[in-house]
Amino acid sequence: SSTMLLERLDGSRTLASVEDDDEAMGVLAGLLNRLHSVPAPPGLRGLGEIAGAMVEEVPSAVDSLADPEDRSRLRGWASAVAELVGEPGDRVLHWDLHYENVLAAEREPWLAIDPEPLVGDPGFDLWPALDTGWERIEATGDARRVVRRRFDLLTEALELDRGRAAGWTLARLLQNTL
């Protein structure tokens, strides 16, 4: 059986409207924490299967790349994913939680929309939050610092193992590249 919840949200006010990046990351962390707090229900697709398929795709993807640095990067990401694929996690993931997928609401100040449910490790959910609002990140002149700050805030707030979270974040980069 399934259930549908209809709720009025303010589609004109996304989390991107929050100027303070740490505050916005705090909202994302709170939403992710609530989502990840319980094991996933049966029947959702699993990260292990998706990650395994990505690793299998890498050799042919590497062969199609001309740049040796790109080839090395792809192999490195795949290696990180291969180390984690045996422990894919058991939490509900949003898969696409970023500023534009968080809207102002009445029941709560902010609610997540447009999930792509997946069962897996919460570290796999970080990438959309890390690169959301890329124009603002670039405008700082130090994108690396901003992304690292976001990673630090999220891994601390969600109490994630930083190594695993970094590996699953690389899995997202691998997924986006393939």
Rounded Cα gap, residues 48 and 60, in angstroms: 20
- Count Cβ atoms below 10 Å from residue 156 Cβ, excluding itself: 11
Give the helix ranges, DSSP H, for the chain.
Answer: 21-36, 47-63, 68-84, 127-130, 134-139, 143-157, 162-177
Task: Look at the block and give the residue holding tokens 């696409």.
Answer: 96
β strands within the chain, DSSP E: 9-14, 91-93, 102-105, 110-112, 118-120
Options 96, 114, 125, 161, the catalytic residue: 96
| Active site (annotated) includes residue 22 | no
Rounded Cα gap, residues 178 and 174, in angstroms: 6
Rounded Cα gap, residues 20 and 8, in angstroms: 25
Task: Report the C-alpha dihedral over residues 42, 43, 47, 50, rounded to 10 degrees.
Answer: 160
Residues belonging to the active site: 96
